[in-house]
Amino acid sequence: MICPACQKDTTRVSDSRLVGAGTSIRRRRVCKNCGHRFSTVESVELLRAQVRKRNGSLQPFDREKLLGGLRAACKRRPIPEQTLRAIIAAVERDLTRIHSLASASGTLPEINSQDIGDLVLSHLKSVDPVAYVLFASVYQGFSSVEEFERALGDAKRVSSAPA
């Protein structure tokens, strides 16, 4: 690892700890050249894929972009950041399972952006029905009151269902 202070690659790990329910490792590092101390976080790259957008373009899957959209939908809702990150992790696991993302050809698999949005909605619906409607309105591009009413009906069915 290159030291952010002196740009030399002479660092060593001085301490490692599991973080995030064991899904990441926080490493404390020391540069042998200048003595600078810094931390890094390692996590498993769950999903390496290309996303096929509605306009036909392809772009790499970006969990931070997806998390940003989820944060925007939940902006004024009492949903902890940890819950949002858990939703994203669940979506990544679902996509990996559904699309068998271990490609033998060495090429990155393609995932339709609609599949991603549908999975986010399915997880969000049980967490917060209001956030579900907000996310659905942006993701599905609601253009009429009827579309909002349909999403509200879906959210009401989930929130009134016996646990």
Q: Give dist(CA 149, CA 114) in Å, integer.
A: 21
Mean pLDDT, rounded, of the chain: 86
Question: What pLDDT is attached to residue 107?
Answer: 64
Question: What pLDDT is attached to residue 84?
Answer: 93
Domain regions of the chain by residue span: 11-43, 50-160
Helix, strand, coil abundance in the chain, percent, nearest 5: 45, 20, 35
CA distances from 109 to 58, 96, 146 (A): 11, 10, 36
Question: What pLDDT is attached to residue 67?
Answer: 93
Question: What pLDDT is attached to residue 105?
Answer: 55
The stretches in the chain having pLDDT less than 50 are 102
- pTM equals 0.66
Question: What pLDDT is attached to residue 37?
Answer: 97
